[in-house]
């Protein structure tokens, strides 16, 4: 992943004072032409993802497809079992009594949509990932507390250890800039 | 009991100092104090309060009653219970419905109130969701052990087998198996997803290696990435969106267990909404019962303020009125329908051998909760605790009244009596032990309140985002 000229570095990590400073910084870094970067904050900040060029996640589509597949398969299973495989005469009701299949179809829709959403989140985010180069920076522990961070990867074509550091240090409300060991 | 105050909060909170304008966060909180206040309990930095030990030991003792009750039941069969013709649904079903109803308030708080932008839910949603999970676990025991041969419980689910037999999908009891297992699974996922960023906080601020490893594994390498947050919030919103109709469907299906039969007073269209309202009523009573100890033992009065108790009490009052309307509607429909069986069953219910339980129900569920109209009863913890206790008793008797309806059939020759036995009570109070034990362990080892969402709730000047903006952020 690391760029050829700086094999020892994963990237740069800048810390900011506040959520608003992180939003501004993300915009400025994007406008400067960087593409491989990410924000890190103790709680979600939608504007950072917007500035990163990730205006819409895939989760909605994943869950919709998961839910539809679950509901369809569920309904077909109920129909096949009750009509074809194991027809039971219950109080003279028709074998294909579809309205009686709705509750289970609904439950399977919710279950499969939820499971696919969670699996989708983990898969798309590449989690579980217990090790990440960012964890090498001690200050990064504040990303789950009160720190707002912006990381720029060395894999970014525009990345250069010295000039990127200088650029990040020039951003408003920056607290510190550290190199992230690979 | 208030032996412990949380550390690192600076000066003790005064009653008129609030971090935010809506008076939901007391004291002067920041991103750091929120994390320490909630997280330090999990990290063992806060000495375990005496009250916790009382709760845990009481729960653990009662848990032994569950073990004995189950062993007795499995060895001798359901004959050790009081069930017999004509009442085959005894307190096991009462307890099942009671527990699952309690669970529903957790989903209401975490899902429905999220969709409705209710900021006050933020202090309550985590422990209310845990309450849901544990209550559904307790509920799940009862239908299983009620089957007589609980080791064959998996026959409820469709799977190819060498008997070439399949479940009967037109039965509400089969729907129940799907509804309750889906409800538990989805609640568990929702709860765990909410916990991931909090686990990351605990991992990063762990005091010992073992905490670091355990919370680290649970956090799955969460690093607060903006890209991850975007997906996370969308998932959170959609799970809330699915959880909302799910909770209604689950208790509707539970009511179908009764309503799809043709027993007088069970076969009623009022049952699904009446059951759902009752579930939320009972659940808020339990939320109040759990919030008050958390406030005292762990000094969370700043995060669960009087305003939270006030709002919970009001919701309990509102849903209580819906439930009371249900009681009225049952009687009205029985009379107005001119059905001999409905009206006669109503008279038996009110003035028959179990009439005392009906009037106890009216007293505890309809009359006593009216005290909440008075502000004193909403703001005074002790009085509110008592009223919530009355609701617990009332909601248990509501289901009891429903099942003892079976003692009076259409034909007087098949009339009978029903009384629970010691084996019934062992399992019943034992399930309470399971709940208390699990909840005590949760309080000690997992963040009782959502650290992430509480931080987001902080106003801008305190470093937060002024309330949960999941509706705006989730894309």
- Which band of pLDDT confidence, cut at 50, 70 and 90, is reported for residue B87? confident
Residue B173 has pLDDT above 80, yes or no: yes
pLDDT at residue B470, rounded to an integer:
65
* B145, B73 contact by CB (below 8 A): yes
Q: How far apart are CA A116 and CA A64, in angstroms?
A: 9
CB within 8 Å: A41 and B226? yes
A80-84, B152-156, B329-333: least confident range = B152-156
Residue B13 has pLDDT above 50, yes or no: no
Beta-strand pair A9-16/A174-181: antiparallel
User: For B397-420, what is the mean pLDDT?
Assistant: 88
pLDDT in tens, B228-240: 998 998 999 999 9
Residue B14 has pLDDT above 70, yes or no: no
Q: Which residues of A touch B251 (CB under 8 A)?
A: none
- Which band of pLDDT confidence, cut at 50, 70 and 90, is reported for residue B454? confident
User: For A154-164, what is the mean pLDDT?
Assistant: 84
The residues facing B84 across adjacent strands are B87
- Which band of pLDDT confidence, cut at 50, 70 and 90, is reported for residue B472? low
User: Does residue B411 or residue B246 have the better pLDDT?
Assistant: B246
- Say how far residue B170 (Cα) sits from the centre of its chain: 28
Exposure string for B90-105, b = 16+ CB within 10 A, e = fewer: bbbbbbbbbbbbbbbb
Helix (H, G, I), strand (E, B) or coil at A132: coil
User: For A116-132, what is the mean pLDDT?
Assistant: 91
Record the tokens describing residue B389, joined without a space: 């206790």
Other beta carbons within 10 Å of B370: 14
Task: Write down the mean pLDDT value for chain A.
Answer: 87
Q: Which CATH architecture has domain A9-56+133-181?
A: 2-Layer Sandwich (3.30)
* B354, B403 contact by CB (below 8 A): no
CB within 8 Å: A41 and B224? yes
- Which band of pLDDT confidence, cut at 50, 70 and 90, is reported for residue B200? very high
Beta-strand pair A37-40/A9-16: unpaired
What's the angle, vertex CA B368, arms to CA B390 and CA B281, rounded to 5? Answer: 60
pLDDT at residue B362, rounded to an integer:
94
Q: Which fold has domain B31-155+167-473?
A: Formate dehydrogenase/DMSO reductase fold (1.20.1630)
Give the residue range(s) of CATH 3.30.70 domains in chain A.
Answer: 9-56+133-181
Residue B388 has pLDDT above 80, yes or no: yes
User: Containing H/E element for A13?
Assistant: strand A9-16
Q: Which residue on chain A is closest to B216 by alpha carbon?
A: A130
Q: Which residue on chain A is closest to B212 by alpha carbon?
A: A130
User: For B119-141, what is the mean pLDDT?
Assistant: 90
Q: How far apart are CA B375 and CA B354, in angstroms?
A: 35
Q: Which residues of A touch B220 (CB under 8 A)?
A: 122, 127-130
pLDDT at residue A7, rounded to an integer:
56
Domain residue spans of chain B: 31-155+167-473
Question: Which one of A129, A140, A145 has the shortest CB-CB distance to B201?
Answer: A145
Q: How far apart are CA B265 and CA B334, in angstroms?
A: 8
Helix (H, G, I), strand (E, B) or coil at A66: helix
Residue B329 has pLDDT above 50, yes or no: yes
Q: Using only C-alpha atoms, what is the Rg of chain B?
A: 23
Residue B11 has pLDDT above 50, yes or no: no
Residue B59 has pLDDT above 50, yes or no: yes
Smallest Cα–Cα separation from B435: which of B443, B446, B425?
Answer: B443
Q: Which residues of B touch A135 (CB under 8 A)?
A: 223
Owner of token pair 């129900």: B361
**Could you say which DSSP state residue B48 is in?**
P
Smallest Cα–Cα separation from A171: which of A21, A11, A18?
Answer: A21
- Which band of pLDDT confidence, cut at 50, 70 and 90, is reported for residue A164? confident
pLDDT at residue B16, rounded to an integer:
65
Q: For an interface test with B, which of A42, A58, A73 has the most B Cβ atoms less than 10 Å from its Cβ?
A: A42
């Amino acid at each position: 992943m690391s760029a050829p000229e700086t094999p020892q570095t994963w990237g740069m990590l800048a810390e900011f004072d506040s959520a608003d400073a992180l939003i501004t910084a993300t915009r400025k870094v994007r406008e400067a032409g960087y593409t491989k970067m990410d924000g890190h904050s103790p709680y979600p900040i939608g504007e950072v993802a917007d500035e990163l060029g990730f205006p819409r996640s895939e989760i909605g589509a994943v869950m919709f497809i998961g839910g539809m597949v679950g509901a369809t398969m569920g309904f077909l299973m109920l129909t096949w079992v009750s009509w074809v495989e194991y027809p039971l005469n219950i109080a003279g009701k028709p074998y294909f009594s579809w309205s009686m299949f709705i509750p289970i179809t609904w439950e399977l829709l919710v279950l499969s949509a939820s499971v696919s959403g969670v699996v989708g989140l983990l898969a798309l985010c590449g989690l579980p990932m217990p090790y990440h180069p960012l964890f090498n920076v001690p200050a990064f522990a504040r990303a789950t507390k009160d720190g707002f961070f912006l990381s720029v990867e060395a894999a970014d074509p525009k990345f250069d250890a010295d000039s990127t550091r200088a650029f990040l240090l020039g951003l408003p409300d920056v607290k510190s800039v550290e190199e992230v060991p690979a | 009991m208030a032996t412990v105050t949380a550390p690192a909060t600076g000066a003790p909170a005064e009653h008129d100092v609030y971090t935010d304008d809506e008076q939901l966060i007391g004291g002067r909180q920041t991103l750091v104090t929120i994390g320490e206040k909630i997280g330090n309990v999990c990290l063992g930095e806060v000495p375990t309060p005496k009250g916790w030990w009382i709760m845990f030991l009481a729960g653990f003792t009662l848990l032994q009653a569950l073990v004995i009750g189950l062993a007795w039941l499995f060895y001798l069969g359901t004959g050790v219970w009081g069930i017999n013709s004509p009442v085959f649904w005894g307190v096991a079903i009462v307890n099942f419905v009671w527990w699952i109803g309690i669970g529903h308030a957790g989903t209401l708080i975490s899902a429905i109130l999220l969709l409705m932008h209710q900021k006050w839910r933020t202090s309550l949603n985590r422990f209310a969701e845990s309450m849901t999970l544990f209550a559904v676990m307790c509920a799940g025991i009862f239908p299983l052990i009620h089957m007589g041969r609980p080791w064959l419980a998996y026959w409820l689910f469709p799977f190819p087998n060498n008997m070439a037999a399949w479940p009967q999908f037109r039965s509400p009891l089969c729907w129940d198996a799907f509804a309750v297992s889906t409800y538990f699974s989805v609640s568990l996922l929702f709860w765990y997803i909410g916990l991931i960023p909090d686990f990351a906080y605990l991992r990063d601020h762990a005091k010992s290696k073992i905490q670091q490893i355990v919370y680290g594994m649970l956090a799955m390498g969460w690093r607060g990435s903006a890209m991850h947050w975007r997906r996370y919030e969308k998932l959170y919103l959609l799970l809330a969106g699915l959880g909302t109709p799910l909770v209604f469907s689950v208790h509707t299906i539970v009511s179908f267990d009764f309503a799809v039969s043709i027993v007088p007073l069970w076969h009623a269209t009022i049952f699904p909404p009446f059951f759902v309202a009752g579930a939320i009523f009972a659940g808020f009573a339990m939320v109040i019962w759990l919030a008050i100890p958390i406030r005292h033992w762990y000094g969370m009065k700043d995060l669960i303020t009087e305003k939270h108790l006030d709002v919970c009490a009001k919701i309990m009052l509102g849903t209580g009125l819906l439930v009371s309307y249900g009681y009225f509607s049952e009687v009205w429909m029985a009379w107005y329908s001119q059905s001999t069986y409905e009206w006669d069953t109503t008279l038996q219910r009110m003035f028959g051998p179990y009439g005392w339980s009906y009037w106890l129900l009216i007293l505890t569920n309809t009359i006593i909760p009216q005290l909440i109209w008075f502000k004193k009863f909403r703001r005074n913890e002790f009085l509110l605790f008592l009223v919530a206790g009355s609701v617990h008793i009332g909601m248990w008797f509501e289901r009891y009244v429903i099942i003892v309806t079976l003692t009076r059939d259409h034909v007087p020759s098949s009339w009978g009596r029903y009384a629970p036995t010691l084996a019934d009570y062992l399992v019943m109070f034992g399930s309470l032990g399971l709940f208390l034990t699990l909840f005590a362990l949760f309080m000690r080892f997992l963040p009782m309140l959502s650290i992430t969402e509480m931080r987001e709730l902080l106003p801008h000047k305190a470093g937060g985002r002024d309330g949960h903006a999941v509706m705006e952020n989730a894309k």
